[in-house]
Amino acid sequence: MPLAAVAVGLISLYLLDLHHYLSVQALHQYRERLGGFVDANAALAAGAYALVYIAVVALSFPGASVLTVAGGFMFGWLAGTALALIGATIGATLIFLIARTSLGDFLTARAGPRVQRLRAGFHEDAFLYLLFLRLVPLFPFWLVNLAAALFEMPLLSYVAATAIGIIPGTFVLSYFGEGLGSALDGDGPVLTTELFIAFTLLGALALVPVLVRRWRRARQGGEGALG
């Protein structure tokens, strides 16, 4: 049943051509319609956005980052961040629970040997390790969800580490979405102050995994030299 639900969900998303709408170009094309819908039906728009986000994350469907940008674009950075956090946490929890069923073997085969690289970290201190992986996305989001379930991380610890760890990245992308909306709707310069700040934050966020990898290589090299 879990496998059937995931398969039907993925097929439905592709049949609806949702992957074509999960792009910055689509936000630009439909910005007036989105803005009008949010203004006229704020609660309905927020609920629909959260449900779509939950489905995208739970099905490991590509496009969650663009959805986060869309949240800031449609609702502003504060509400967009909150809605994206709710959607991402619930969606990640659903796939976490699914991976604990008989579907876990299928997902493990899909992940391949990469999931085994996370085993030691989860067995040593699952909460802190997952928090680190959320803050520093060294591995794909869906792979981390799967590993946490396969290595028997407690549910409450998983939810807490996920919700806390994705806050910085979600905020940056939502803030970028709000800045993008200001740039597209305004008559002034394309690079607004908000968008400049957002680009700076995105650049800093993108550098974090690179710096962590270099630090780990240097540390491993130092330990090897001492050995």
Give the pair of three-digit tokens for residue 204.
């800093």
- The answer to whether the CB of 153 falls within 8 A of the CB of 130 is yes
- Sorted by where each begins, the domain ranges of the chain are 2-226
> What is the per-residue pLDDT for 188?
42
> What is the per-residue pLDDT for 180?
78
pLDDT tens-place values along the chain, 227 residues long: 655 666 666 666 666 666 667 777 777 788 888 888 999 999 999 999 999 899 888 887 778 888 898 999 899 889 999 999 999 999 999 988 887 875 666 666 665 666 777 777 888 888 988 988 888 777 788 888 888 888 889 999 999 999 998 988 898 888 888 877 766 655 444 445 655 565 566 556 555 655 555 655 665 555 554 45
- Write the CB contacts of 115 (distance below 8 Å, at least 6 apart in sequence): 108, 143, 146, 147, 150
Query: CA-CA-CA-CA torsion for 34, 171, 167, 147, nearest 10 degrees?
Result: 70
> What is the per-residue pLDDT for 143?
81
Give the pair of three-digit tokens for residue 22.
């999960």
The CA distance from 158 to 97, in Å, is 11
- The answer to whether the CB of 2 falls within 8 A of the CB of 98 is yes
